[in-house]
């Protein structure tokens, strides 16, 4: 029986000063999206953070629209979009526009956020995250279902509307049981940080008499990002500095005073410890197929071809190896 396993390319657009110029990375990312579409990749993942020295992608809807214009089949998974930072009416409008541009190929994971600096920059309070999530999700769903209504003392009317039903676009993200229950309560999909939360989501959907929405089940032990190469030792030397940079920056956010995060990245800034942890992997195409054969349903194989500002030249090497192995991957998923 075929398994529902997705191949995802993710881009956070980090560009440390010692790497390639940002404009070069953005141009490459759009070309890589078109290439991924042509070879049968399932999804593009785009993230969101603000005020990062390395330019972490602050506007995922903008990049998604550019990528949607050069693709036809793959879907876009934006997540997590940090909903408490934003006006939910503007988020609803952005969802509608990208869904229209992509002709219904968009999913958006809404997250609560955890970085104090971001909340301060947008004049929001971390302590209000739950309330802002609930109000924001309700507003977005009602608006994209075509309602004209009042919310929090203001009129809301969003046009144009998206191609898809909003419940098929919106997902809730998070790493705690409350996020699973929130997704079930609003009748939307779920994008958890931990695989075990899916069981809470499914049970809550059953309790409420609702069919589960789109969800994925992160598998413990699977890398966050895979770099394909002919020689894993040489491949690690290529990505090591970039992988360390990514983990170091995430750890800074998690360790900031007042941060609402239990980071898995603490203590992993040493290159040897990071490689041993397996968060980033350098695999040959044969190793990728071997791992794919072991994967469970509702999981994903993820690549980040521009990991931590990795040069497009190296990213293209990985993607061309992916192209070569795609028929074998699909065969492994179909077993």
Q: Are residues 196 and 241 in the same domain?
A: no
User: Do the domain assignments include residue 28?
Assistant: no
Number of separate domains in the chain: 2
- Does one domain contain both 132 and 255? no
Residue 96 lies in a domain: yes
How do residues 64-117 score in pLDDT, each as one tens digit?
999 999 999 999 999 999 999 999 999 999 999 999 999 999 999 999 999 999
| 162, part of any domain | yes
Residue 178 lies in a domain: yes
For the segment 5-30, the average pLDDT, to the nearest whole number, is: 97
pLDDT digits (tens, 9 = 90+) for 232-247: 999 999 999 999 999 9
Q: Say which range, 45-54, 213-222, 258-267, 294-303, has the weakest mean pLDDT.
A: 258-267
pLDDT tens digits along 276-301 = 788 899 999 999 999 998 888 889 99
- Which domain, by its residues, includes 187? 74-208
User: What is the predicted pLDDT for the residue at 262?
Assistant: 60
Residue 190 and residue 312 in one domain:
no
Q: Are 81 and 48 in contact (CB under 8 A)?
A: yes
pLDDT at residue 251 in the model: 84
| Same-domain pairing of 292 and 196 | no
Is the domain of 178 the same as that of 229? no
């Amino acid at each position: 029986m075929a398994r529902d396993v997705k191949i995802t390319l993710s881009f956070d657009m980090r560009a440390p000063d010692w790497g390639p110029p940002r404009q070069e990375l953005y141009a490459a990312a759009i070309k890589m999206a078109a290439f991924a579409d042509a070879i049968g990749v399932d999804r593009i993942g785009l993230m969101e953070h603000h005020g990062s020295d390395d330019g972490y992608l602050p506007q995922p809807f903008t990049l998604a629209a550019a990528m949607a214009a050069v693709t036809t089949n793959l879907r876009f998974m934006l997540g997590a979009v940090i909903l408490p930072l934003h006006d939910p009416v503007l988020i609803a409008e952005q969802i509608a526009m990208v869904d229209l541009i992509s002709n219904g190929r968009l999913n958006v994971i809404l997250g609560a956020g955890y970085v104090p600096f971001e909340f301060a920059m947008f004049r929001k309070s971390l302590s209000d995250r739950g309330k802002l999530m609930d109000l924001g999700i309700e507003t977005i769903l009602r608006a994209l279902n075509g309602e004209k209504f009042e919310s929090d003392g203001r009129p809301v009317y969003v046009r144009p509307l998206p191609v898809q039903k909003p419940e098929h676009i919106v997902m809730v993200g998070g790493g705690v049981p409350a996020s699973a229950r929130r997704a079930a309560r609003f009748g939307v999909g779920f994008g958890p940080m931990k695989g075990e939360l899916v069981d809470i989501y499914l049970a809550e959907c059953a309790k409420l008499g609702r069919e589960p929405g789109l969800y994925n089940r992160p598998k413990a032990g699977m890398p966050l990002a895979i770099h394909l190469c002919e020689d894993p030792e040489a491949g690690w030397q290529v990505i090591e500095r970039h992988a360390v940079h990514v983990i170091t920056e995430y750890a800074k956010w998690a360790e900031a005073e007042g941060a609402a995060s239990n980071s898995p990245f603490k203590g992993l800034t040493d290159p040897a410890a990071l490689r041993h942890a397996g968060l980033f992997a350098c695999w040959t195409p044969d190793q990728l197929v071997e791992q794919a054969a072991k994967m469970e349903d509702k999981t994903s194989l993820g690549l980040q071809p521009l990991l931590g500002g990795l040069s497009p030249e190296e990213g293209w090497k990985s993607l061309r190896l992916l192209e070569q192995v795609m028929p074998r991957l699909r065969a492994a998923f179909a077993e």
